[in-house]
Amino acid sequence: MSLVKLQSRLENTLPDGRLEVLPVPGYRAIKLALINADFSTGPLPQAVMNAVIEKPAYWAFCWGSGIALARYLRTHKEIVSGLRVLDLGSGSGIVAIAACLNEARLVVACDTDPDARLAIEVNAAINSVSIVTTGNASGHFDIALLADVLYDPCNQEILEKSRTLADTVLVADSRVKQAPQGFRQFDSMSAPTFPNLGEFDEFRTVRFFRSH
């Protein structure tokens, strides 16, 4: 079963990590295979630290921005309903799954990490939704959704790429405080990462930006 395969991918980075299928706080209808909620946040052995830096298992967490955007789609279904949706930097697939549950016509989840693509497939099956996965998005979409992808300045190019792929781009991010050029902030929401990473409070406010 793919969950077993995904568990072994997690152990490549975090040998003591254990996958659990958990309901997402604030959107409990979505269940995801994530790292055990009681995982140790204490100092890691050097070898594990190196593995975390080299190959971070972002997909084993549901990031605050992903949770916030999924919740926003639930209350503003019209953002995705009937549309072709691209989730860029999909991680666990939380946003792609929320788009499916809120009646998107087609959902493509893009992540450069092959382990994330496996996680998206596992999580799509858990939630009985259909998502196309890719490591390199192409084609044309009505809307592109980016949740917590701009954490690294090197990822800025993904924002430019998203504008060539979709008519509208919607960004949810707790680290970006000013609207990127060509975007305007339209809302915000508080949501911590799950399982809890003990992030500073300032990273719990997720801002929503929309291209214009």
Ligand X SMILES: C[S@@+](CC[C@H](N)C(=O)[O-])C[C@H]1O[C@@H](n2cnc3c(N)ncnc32)[C@H](O)[C@@H]1O
Judged by the rule CB under 6 A, the positions of this chain that interact with ligand X are 58-59, 62-63, 65-66, 88-92, 94-95, 110-113, 116, 147-149, 151, 155, 158
Q: Is 174 exposed, middle or buried (0-12, 13-18, 19+ CB in 10 A)?
A: buried
Specify the residue, 83 or 110, whose C-beta has the smaller distance to ligand X.
110
Least separation, in Å, of the C-beta of 34 and ligand X?
A: 10
Rg (CA), the chain: 16
Specify the residue, 46 or 122, whose C-beta has the smaller distance to ligand X.
122
Least separation, in Å, of the C-beta of 32 and ligand X?
A: 9
- DSSP symbols for 160-203: HHHHHHEEEEEEEESS--SPPTTEEEEEEEE---BS-----GGG
Least separation, in Å, of the C-beta of 90 and ligand X?
A: 6
Cα separation, 195 vs 36, whole angstroms: 7
Specify the residue, 46 or 141, whose C-beta has the smaller distance to ligand X.
141
Least separation, in Å, of the C-beta of 81 and ligand X?
A: 20
